[in-house]
Amino acid sequence: MPPSPSRVTQADVARHAGVSRTTVSFVLSGREDTRISIEARQRILGAAEELGYRPNLTAQSLRTRKTYTVGLVSDIVASTHYAGEMIQGALEAALERDHLLYFAESGDDPDAERKLLQGMLDRQVDGLIHAAMSTRARRVPEQLRSQPSVLLNCLDESGEFASVVPDEEAAGRQAAKLLLEAGHREGIHVVGGRCVTRGAPDGVYAGRERMRGIEAALAEAGVRLSGVSECDWSAPRFGYGAARRLLEAGPRPTAVVCCNDRLAFGVYQAAAEQGLSVPHDLSVVAFDDSELASWLRPALTSVALPHREMGRRAVSLLLSPEEPEPSVHRIPMPVRRRDSIAVPHR
Amino acid sequence: MPPSPSRVTQADVARHAGVSRTTVSFVLSGREDTRISIEARQRILGAAEELGYRPNLTAQSLRTRKTYTVGLVSDIVASTHYAGEMIQGALEAALERDHLLYFAESGDDPDAERKLLQGMLDRQVDGLIHAAMSTRARRVPEQLRSQPSVLLNCLDESGEFASVVPDEEAAGRQAAKLLLEAGHREGIHVVGGRCVTRGAPDGVYAGRERMRGIEAALAEAGVRLSGVSECDWSAPRFGYGAARRLLEAGPRPTAVVCCNDRLAFGVYQAAAEQGLSVPHDLSVVAFDDSELASWLRPALTSVALPHREMGRRAVSLLLSPEEPEPSVHRIPMPVRRRDSIAVPHR
DNA sequence: GTGAAAGCGCTAACAT
DNA sequence: ATGTTAGCGCTTTCAC
- Tens of pLDDT along B180-193? 999 999 999 999 99
Q: Is the CB of B2 under 7 A from strand D?
A: yes
Q: Is the CB of A63 under 7 A from strand D?
A: yes
Contacts of A50 by beta carbon, 8 Å cutoff, 6+ apart: A16
User: What is the Cα–Cα distance from A264 to A296, expressed in whole angstroms?
Assistant: 9
Which of A297, A307, A309, A315 would you mutate first to test chain B, the one with the most B CBs within 10 A? A297
CB B4 under 7 Å to nucleic chain D: no
Q: Which of A205, A135, A198 is nearest to A163 (CA)?
A: A135
Q: How far apart are CA A205 and CA A211, in angstroms?
A: 10
Confidence grade of residue A133 (pLDDT, cut at 50, 70, 90): confident
* Average pLDDT score over residue span B117-126: 97
A8 touches strand D (CB under 7 A): no
pTM of the model: 0.93
pLDDT at B329 exceeding the cut of 50: yes
Closest in A65, A103, A297 to B101, CB measured: A103
A269 chain-B contacts, CB cut-off 8 A: 297
Q: Is A319 within 7 A of strand D by CB distance?
A: no
Are B58 and A67 within 8 A, CB to CB? yes
Q: Nearest-CA distance from B276 to chain A in Å?
A: 13
Q: What is the mean pLDDT of residues A324-329?
A: 84
User: Which nucleotide shows the minimum CA-to-C1' distance to residue B4?
Assistant: D8
Cβ contact B320 with chain D strand, < 7 A: no
Question: In chain A, which residues have their Cβ closer than 8 Å to the Cβ of B78?
Answer: 78, 84, 87-88
Pick the range with the lowest mean pLDDT from A95-99, B10-14, B133-137, B240-244: B133-137
Chain D footprint bases within 7 A of protein beta carbons: 1-5, 7-13
Least CB–CB distance from A124: residue in B56, B235, B297: B56
Q: Which long-range contacts (CB under 8 A, 24 or more apart) does B110-119 make?
A: B110/B141, B113/B73, B113/B75, B113/B141, B114/B141, B114/B142, B114/B143, B116/A95, B116/A100, B116/B71, B116/B73, B117/B71, B117/B73, B117/B141, B117/B143, B117/B144, B118/A54, B118/B143, B119/A100
**DSSP type of residue B324:** P
**Has residue B138 got a pLDDT over 80?**
no
Residue A85 or residue B134, greater confidence: A85
Contact call for residues B291 and A83 (beta carbons, < 8 A): no
Distance CA A161, CA A177 (A): 33
pLDDT band at A119 (very low <50, low <70, confident <90, very high): very high
A58 neighbourhood in chain B, CB within 8 Å? 58, 61-62, 67, 123-124
Q: What letter would DSSP give residue A323?
A: P
pLDDT at A19: 87
Percent of chain B with pLDDT strictly greater than 70: 96
Q: Is B91 in contact with A77 (Cβ distance < 8 A)?
A: no
Q: Per-residue pLDDT for A2 more than 90?
A: no
Euclidean distance between CA atoms A173 and A168, whole angstroms = 9
pLDDT at position A137 is 73
Per-residue pLDDT, averaged over B214-228, amounts to 97
- Return the number of other C-beta atoms located less than 10 Å from residue B318's C-beta: 27
Shortest distance between the Cα of A252 and any Cα of chain B, in A, equals: 23
Percentage of the residues of chain A whose pLDDT score is greater than 70: 95
CB nearest to A297's CB, from B100, B101, B269: B269
Which residues, including other chains, have CB under 8 Å from residue A113's CB and lie 6 or more apart? A73, A75, A106, A141
pLDDT value for B78: 53
Pairing of strands A69-74, A100-105: parallel
Name the residue in chain B with its Cα closest to that of A90.
B104
For B317, what's the count of Cα atoms within 13 Å in the CB-facing half-sphere? 27
* Residue ranges near strand C (C-beta within 7 Å): A 2, 6-7, 9-11, 21-22, 25, 28-29, 55-56, 59-60, 62-64; B 1-2, 18-23, 26, 34-37, 39-41, 59, 62-63
Residue A201, judged by CB atoms within 10 A of its CB (0-12, 13-18, 19+), counts as: exposed
Q: How confident is the model at residue B77 (pLDDT cuts 50, 70, 90)?
A: low
Q: Give the long-range contacts of residues B156-163, CB within 8 A, separation 24 or more.
A: B156/B326, B159/B326, B160/B326, B161/B130, B161/B324, B161/B326, B162/B317, B162/B324, B162/B325, B162/B326, B162/B327, B162/B328, B162/B329, B163/B328, B163/B329
Which chain A residue's Cα is nearest to B262?
A: A295
Q: How confident is the model at residue B3 (pLDDT cuts 50, 70, 90)?
A: very low
A40 sits within 7 Å of strand D by its CB: yes
| pLDDT at B6 (0 to 100) | 64
Q: What pLDDT sits at residue B323?
A: 72
Tell me the average pLDDT of chain B. Answer: 92
* Chain A residues close to B56, C-beta within 8 Å: 62, 122, 124
pLDDT in tens, B26-57: 999 887 777 788 888 889 999 999 999 999 99
What does the alpha-carbon distance between residue A329 and residue A306 come to, in Å, rounded to a whole number?
12
| pLDDT score of A250 | 80
From the CA of A53, how many Å to the C1' of D12?
Answer: 28
What distances in angstroms separate CA B192 from CA A147, A317, B223, one per listed residue? 50, 45, 20
A77·B55 Cβ contact <8 A: no
The pLDDT mean for chain A works out to: 91
Q: Which residue has the higher pLDDT, B11 or B265?
A: B265
User: Residue A4 pLDDT more than 70?
Assistant: no
Residue in chain A nearest B4 by alpha carbon: A65
Nearest-CA distance B289 → chain A (Å): 13
Among the residue ranges A315-324, A328-337, B211-220, B226-235, the one predicted with the least confidence is A315-324
Q: What is the DSSP string of B90-109?
A: HHHHHHHTT-EEEEEE-TT-
Specify the pLDDT at position B4.
37
* Cα angle value A43/A44/A49 (rounded, 5°): 100
Residues of chain A positioned with their CB less than 8 A from the CB of B84: 77-80, 83-84
Work out the average pLDDT over A116-145: 90
Confidence at residue B144, expressed as pLDDT on a 0 to 100 scale = 94
**Nucleic strand D near CB of residue A4 (< 7 Å):** no
Residues from chain A that touch B96, judged by Cβ atoms under 8 A, are none
- Three-state DSSP class for residue A336: strand
Helix, strand, or coil (residue B192):
strand
